[in-house]
Amino acid sequence: MRYLSEEEYELASRFLFLSMAILVIQQDMQNIEKGTTFKIKEPFTDLLSKMEYEATSERRHLRKRMATKQLQVVSLNKNDSFSSFLFICKGREEKRNYFNPAIRKKVENIIHDLMQKAFRSFQPASTK
């Protein structure tokens, strides 16, 4: 049974998957810094930094909106196939189970969106 409105659910799920995308971006930045795969790392780390900035700005805004609606997301459990989250809004609770490959796809889509935003606002250093 659904206890959250569509708006509340959309807000909370965007916050949830955006938070996961931020973790992926941070891990990728660490892997690039540690690894020797790239000859020139700076363009990639700059892009990831801009993506992280865009994501954290959006998440900050979402967190404020969630606070005004008394909306929370709590991770319940995770196994090889599914992850469970509890959405809480003004005392109403709704448990959602997500298929892990579906989570991956949602996070991937968010990363694509962040990459497009970062490319649009990217100001590479000019060469003199």
Q: Say if 128 falls within a structural domain.
A: no
Tell me the mean pLDDT in the region 23-39: 87
Q: Say if 48 falls within a structural domain.
A: yes
pLDDT in tens, 40-75: 888 888 999 999 999 999 999 999 999 999 999 999
d(CA 42, CA 39): 9
Q: Say if 127 falls within a structural domain.
A: no
- Report yes or no on whether pTM surpasses 0.75: yes
Under the banding of pLDDT at 50, 70 and 90, the label for residue 123 is low
97 membership: H or E segment, kind and range: strand 92-99
Q: Which domain holds residue 52?
A: 6-121
Give me the number of domains the chain comprises. Answer: 1
Predicted confidence (pLDDT) at residue 128 exceeds the cutoff of 50: no
- Are 98 and 82 in contact by the 8 Å Cβ rule? The answer is yes
Q: Say if 126 falls within a structural domain.
A: no
Q: Say if 35 falls within a structural domain.
A: yes
Mean pLDDT, all residues of the chain: 91
Q: Say if 1 falls within a structural domain.
A: no
